[in-house]
Amino acid sequence: MNTLWFCSLIFIHFFFFKCCAPHCRDSPPHVPKEELSTDVVIDVIANMTHTIRQFFPQLPVYPALGNHDYWPQDQLPTSANAIYDAVAKLWSPWLNPEAVATLQKGGFYSLVIKPGLRLVSLNTNLYYSPNQVTVNMTDPAGQFQWLQETLELSRQKLEKVSIFCLLLQGILILERTRSVRESYNERLVKIFRYYSDVVQGQFYGHTHRDSIMVLLDQQGKPVNSIFVTPAVTPIKSLLEPYSNNPGVRAYLYHPENYGLLDIWQFYLNLTEANLEQKSDWKLEYIMTEAFNIDDIQPHNLHELALRFEQPQSKDFDKYFNHFMVSYNFSLTCEGLCKTIQVCAVHFLDQETYSQCIAKAGI
Ligand SMILES: *[C@@H]1O[C@H](CO)[C@@H](O)[C@H](O)[C@H]1NC(C)=O
Ligand SMILES: *[C@@H]1O[C@H](CO)[C@@H](O)[C@H](O)[C@H]1NC(C)=O
Ligand SMILES: *[C@@H]1O[C@H](CO)[C@@H](O)[C@H](O)[C@H]1NC(C)=O
Ligand SMILES: *[C@@H]1O[C@H](CO)[C@@H](O)[C@H](O)[C@H]1NC(C)=O
C-alpha cells in the first residue's frame, strides 16, 4: 500500500508494498509503529529511489506517496514536514522546480511529461479514512482547489491529464468500504465528472489487486477509464482466501492524442517460483485480446462491464482471475461476491453504489 512509481515511456506501474527481496527494501512494511520511525521511513524510500535510478537510469519515473510512506502510518499531514522534505529532494531529478515545491508543501505535484500531456500526482492519503490529521477539514492542504485550478488551466491549454495516486475513489471490493472518506469521495467524483474531457485516464494502486472502474456522468454515459494496478508484493488478510501474484504492467497509449489503447499485464507465478526457486516473469494478459475489445476507452470498458453482469459470464470469470493476478483458478465469485465486483466497476459515488447493491436484492 505504498509509493506508486509511475514510469513514463510506455507507462509502467511499479507498486511496492513490502520488502520483497533483499535488493528491494522498498517503501515501508506493515509492522507495528514502534518498529519504525521517521528516519526509517525516509531510509526505506531513499533506498527504493536509488535502486530504481540505478536499474533504470534513463527512465523518467513519477512516484506518488502512499499511506505507509509516513510515520506514524496513514497520518500524512497537510503542510511541510521531514518526510515531504526528504521525498522532494530524493525525487527532484525526475521533476521540475514547481513540482518539487508543491510536493514539499503538500505531497502532491503536477508536470507536463510530453507535449500536451500533464501528469497529476495526488496525495489522496489526505482523504484516507484512518488519517486523523484531516478529520473535518474541507480541503486538506488546499489540494482540491489546486486540482481544480490545474485541470481548468489544462482545459484552456488543451492538455490531456493523467491522474495517478495510491488511494482510489469508489469501493474497496474486499473490505466493502471506501478508502477515501465519503465527503472527499463525492467531491473527487464531481471534479472528475466535470473535467472528464481533460482527463486521459486515472491510475490507482493500494488494493494489490487488478480491477477497473468506469466513471459515469449523471446521465449514465461512460466518461473516464480508471485502473487499479496490482502490486509487486502479495497481500492476504487472515479472513479471506484471496491473495495476489506479483504483477507489473505497461499501458499503451496513442502517441499523438494520448488516448489509452491497451494494457500488457505481467506476473510472477509465486507458487511456481517457490517450487523452482527462481523467478520467471510472464505475460498474464493483453487487455484487448483477453476481452475482445478495440481499446480501453470508457465506452469499451463500459460495454465489457455490462458483459460481466450477465449470469455465468466467462468474461467475468476471467476478470475475477485477473483480480488476484491469476493466483488461484479454483476460487469462484458468485452471488454477493459478484454483485459487489460489478457494482464497484460502475458506481463510484455512494448513492448509486447503494442502489446497485439494493437492486441485486442479496
Ligand atoms: C538498499 O537496502 C539493501 C538492504 O539493506 C542494501 O543491500 C542495498 O544496497 C540498498 N540499496 C541502495 C541503492 O541503497
Ligand atoms: C469533527 O466534527 C464533529 C462534529 O461537529 C465533532 O464532534 C468532532 O469533535 C470534530 N473532530 C475534530 C477532530 O475536530
Ligand atoms: C502456477 O504454478 C502452479 C505450479 O506449477 C500451477 O499449478 C498453476 O497452474 C500456475 N498458474 C498459472 C496462472 O499458470
Ligand atoms: C486455492 O483455493 C482453494 C479453494 O479455496 C484452496 O483450497 C487452495 O489452498 C488455494 N490455493 C492457494 C495456492 O492458495
Task: Indicate the domain borders of the chain.
Answer: 4-360
Task: Tell me which ligand sits closest to the C-alpha of residue 55.
Answer: 1
Measure CA of the first residue to CA of the last residue in the chain; give whole Å. 31
Nearest ligand for residue 269 CA: 3
Between the CA of 50 and the centroid of ligand 1 the distance, in Å, is 9
CA-proximal residue: ligand 2, atom 1 (nearest): 136
Q: How far apart are CA 289 and CA 304, in angstroms?
A: 12
With the most atoms of ligand 4 within 8 angstroms of its CB, the residue from 237, 328, 329, 337 to mutate is 328
Interhelix angle for 38-55 vs 82-91, to 10°? Answer: 10
Residue-level pLDDT at 221: 97
Ligand nearest to the CA of 45: 1
Q: Extract the C-alpha cell encoding 179.
A: 478508502
Which residue ranges have their beta carbon within 6 Å of ligand 4? 241, 271, 328, 330-331
Q: Which residue has the cell 484471496?
A: 242
DSSP of 336-362, one letter per residue?
Answer: HHHHHHHHHHH--SHHHHHHHHHHHT-
- The ligand whose atoms approach the alpha carbon of 49 most closely is 1
Contact in structure between 209 and 323 (CB atoms under 8 Å): yes
Task: State pLDDT tens for residues 73-109.
Answer: 999 999 999 999 999 999 999 999 999 999 999 999 9
Place of cell 484487448: 288
Burial class (CB in 10 A: 0-12, 13-18, 19+), 19: middle
In contact, 72 and 33? CB cutoff 8 Å:
yes
The CATH label, of 2.60.120, 3.40.50, 1.10.3470, 3.60.21, for the domain at 4-360 is 3.60.21
**C-alpha dihedral sign at 189, 191, 192, 193:** positive
Ligand 1 atom with minimal separation from the 54 CA: 13
Expressed in angstroms and rounded, the spacing between residue 276 Cα and the centre of ligand 4 is 19
Minimum CA distance residue for ligand 2 atom 10 = 136
CA Rg, the chain, in Å? 19
- Ligand 3, atom 6: nearest CA belongs to which residue? 272
The helix or strand, by DSSP H or E, that contains position 83, with its residue range, turns out to be helix 82-91
pLDDT, residue 27, reads: 62
Ligand 2 centre and the CA of 156: distance in Å? Answer: 39
The predicted structure's pLDDT at residue 257: 94
For residue 128, list its beta bridge partners: 180
Q: Which residues contact 203 (CB under 8 A, 6 or more apart)?
A: 4, 6, 11, 13, 162, 163, 164, 165, 226, 227, 229, 251
Q: What is the pLDDT of residue 17?
A: 28
Give per-residue pLDDT as tens, 21-79. 222 223 676 777 788 999 999 999 999 999 999 999 999 999 999 999 999 999 999 99
Ligand nearest to the CA of 267: 3
pLDDT at 264: 97
Asked if 44 and 102 touch (Cβ cutoff 8 Å), the reply is no
- What is the reported pLDDT for 4? 61
Give the closest residue (by CA) to ligand 4 atom 12: 328
Mutate to test the pocket of ligand 2, among 132, 136, 181 (most ligand atoms within 8 A of CB): 136
Nearest CA to ligand 3 atom 4: 272
| CA 138 to ligand 2 center in whole angstroms | 12
**Cross-strand pairs, 61:** 7
Q: Fill in the DSSP letter of residue 231.
A: P
Residue type, 101: A
Decide: 132 in ligand 2 pocket, CB within 6 A: no
| Cβ proximity of 161 and 199 under 8 Å | yes
Task: Tell me the CA distances in angstroms from 301 to 16, 81, 297, one per residue in order.
Answer: 26, 40, 6
Q: Are 99 and 68 in contact (CB under 8 A)?
A: no
Residues of the chain with pLDDT under 50: 1, 7-26
Task: Enter the C-alpha cell of residue 254.
Answer: 496513442
d(CA 36, CA 29): 9
Q: Are strands 211-216 and 109-114 parallel, antiparallel or unpaired?
A: unpaired
